[in-house]
């Protein structure tokens, strides 16, 4: 019997040495024996999975910890009790389990001091507690953490040193950075759609000497370790041929809210102490009109629903150039409905109806231009395909005549059918 005991304790000691190098700090017993953890338990050579099902625990008077848990070994229920002293140096464990043959066994032992993954001791039969039957040990299974799929894109930003206005020959410095919930793998910097710099980090710098005159755009795209991409806002910067200031520009369009049936007038004004040499209007990056004066107009369209980009540049007589920034115009589709509005002109000036036209605004937003109609040969007009809502009708002319409409504007409610006899007197 003494020989058996010696062999058991030698075996236990050897196993303690094998696992003693894993953890330096002493882990609290309630974290080692956590609910849901699993161990490979060997009881006198019989091996199975030990599952800790949970229980209760509390502090002891000396500041230690005691706990009791329900367990399962080889699908048979059992119990676990554990104690730790006030300094958390000694951690004692007692398991009550049942072997496959039905034999109930008490396993008494300790958790190894320099690891939270191994415990061992001696086994006893409950009927003869004084008889040492053998040894037991348990090794904690590695917890398989489910892989979390990262779908969050990096938050990406870009900035340019300076005020975004440069002269040819200046050096531009662009900084891009990104943040991610896991890790940023790389950042790409683009200038005018061309990839100019890649950095395998959360921050990226790019610098170059500017040679191309005109407006430019830059942005950054960051990618994380899962392949998610995040794009920064787009920054626009300007490169002038000389340091001379160019003309001051004011621009506008008519109508202010165009739709897909409207012709659009683009209007630009420029001023400079030396005088204005020219103004050029660009639509979708194509020059459509150049005027050799301080005022310029261009009428185009109708344009299809969607985005239209327009820009104006101007040159002064002393060589200064202003490159205006791109303006994005949203052209709305014309909504079709079942309403219609019609009427005529009458009165002493009805013969002059051909030089007048009716402007329709709405629905509901009476500043939203919808359509313009001229009076026909009989002095009549008609708007069809109108959605339900309130509309504003304005009669106007470009002719310099003494005749005018009365009233010059009317607000009409249209609901699902024709509205007739919306007439205007010319006198």
Q: Which residue, of 271, 304, 331, is where some domain finishes?
A: 331
What integer best gives the mean pLDDT of the chain? 86
Query: With a cut of 50, which residues of the chain have pLDDT below it?
Result: 1-3, 6, 9-10, 13-23, 145
Distances (CA, A) of 306 to 255, 331, 333, 386: 16, 5, 8, 20
My answer on whether 184 and 165 are in the same domain is: yes
Statement to judge: residues 299 and 419 lie in one domain: no
| Domain stop point among 181, 215, 240 | 240
Q: Identify the pLDDT of residue 110.
A: 93
Longest dimension (CA), the chain: 134
> Is 259 inside any structural domain?
yes
Together in a domain, 313 and 404: no
Same-domain status, 101 and 15: yes
pTM of the model: 0.43
**Same structural domain, 325 and 346:** no
Q: How far apart are CA 156 and CA 180, in angstroms?
A: 9
Q: Indicate if 401 and 348 belong to the same structural domain.
A: yes
Short-list 10, 255, 17, 243, CA closest to 118 = 17
Last residue of a domain, one of 267, 298, 331: 331
Indicate if 197 and 223 belong to the same structural domain: yes
Question: Is 148 inside a domain boundary?
Answer: no
> Could you tell me the two tokens for 375?
């009076």
**What's residue 246's pLDDT?**
84
**Cα(330)–Cα(304) distance, integer angstroms:** 10
354 is a domain residue: yes
CA–CA dist 9, 348 (Å, integer)? 124
Alpha carbon distances (Å) from 180 to 159, 190, 203, 225, 367: 18, 20, 12, 9, 44
In which element (H, E) is residue 18 found? helix 2-19
End-to-end CA distance of the chain: 130
Of 91, 90, 84, 95, nearest to 39 (Cα)? 95
Distance CA 395, CA 334 (A): 21
Q: How many Cβ atoms from other residues are within 10 Å of residue 279's Cβ?
A: 26
User: Are 11 and 90 in the same domain?
Assistant: yes
Same domain, 30 and 132: yes
Which residues form the domain of 357?
339-426
């Amino acid at each position: 019997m003494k020989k058996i005991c010696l062999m058991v304790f030698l075996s236990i000691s050897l196993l303690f040495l094998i696992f003693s190098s894993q953890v330096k700090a002493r882990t609290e017993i309630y974290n080692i024996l956590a609910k849901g953890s699993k161990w490979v338990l060997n009881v006198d050579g019989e091996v199975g999975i030990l599952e800790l099902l949970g229980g209760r625990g509390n502090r002891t008077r000396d500041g230690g910890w005691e706990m009791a848990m329900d367990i399962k070994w080889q699908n048979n229920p059992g119990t676990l009790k554990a104690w730790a002293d006030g300094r958390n140096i000694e951690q004692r464990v007692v398991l009550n389990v049942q072997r496959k043959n039905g034999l109930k066994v008490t396993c008494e032992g300790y958790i190894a001091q320099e690891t939270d993954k191994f415990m061992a001791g001696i086994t006893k039969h409950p009927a003869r507690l004084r008889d040492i039957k053998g040894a037991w040990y348990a090794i904690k299974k590695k917890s398989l953490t489910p892989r979390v799929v990262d779908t969050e894109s990096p938050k990406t930003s870009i900035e340019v040193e300076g005020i975004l206005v440069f002269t040819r020959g200046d050096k531009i410095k662009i900084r891009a950075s990104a943040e991610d919930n896991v890790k940023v793998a790389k950042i790409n910097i683009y200038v005018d759609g061309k990839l100019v710099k890649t950095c395998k980090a959360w921050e990226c710098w790019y610098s170059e000497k500017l040679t191309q005159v005109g407006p430019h755009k830059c942005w950054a795209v960051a990618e994380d370790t899962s392949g998610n991409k995040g794009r920064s806002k787009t920054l626009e910067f300007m490169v002038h041929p000389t340091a001379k200031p160019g003309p001051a520009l004011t621009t506008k369009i008519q109508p202010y809210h165009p739709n897909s049936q409207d012709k659009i007038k683009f209007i630009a004004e420029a001023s400079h102490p030396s005088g204005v040499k020219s103004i050029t209007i660009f639509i979708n990056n194509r020059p459509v009109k150049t005027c050799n004066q301080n005022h310029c107009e261009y009428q185009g369209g109708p344009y299809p629903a969607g985005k239209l980009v327009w820009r104006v540049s101007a040159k002064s007589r002393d060589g200064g150039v202003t490159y205006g920034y791109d303006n994005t115009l949203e052209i709305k589709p014309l909504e079709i409905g079942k309403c219609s509005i019609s009427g005529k002109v009458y009165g002493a000036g009805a013969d002059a109806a051909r030089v007048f036209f009716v402007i329709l605004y709405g629905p509901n937003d009476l500043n939203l231009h919808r359509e313009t109609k001229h009076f026909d040969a009989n002095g009549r007009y008609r708007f069809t395909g109108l959605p339900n809502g309130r509309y504003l009708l304005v009669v106007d002319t470009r002719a310099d005549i003494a005749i005018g409409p009365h009233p010059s504007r009317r607000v009409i409610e249209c609901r699902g059918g024709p509205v007739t006899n919306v007439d205007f007197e010319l006198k």
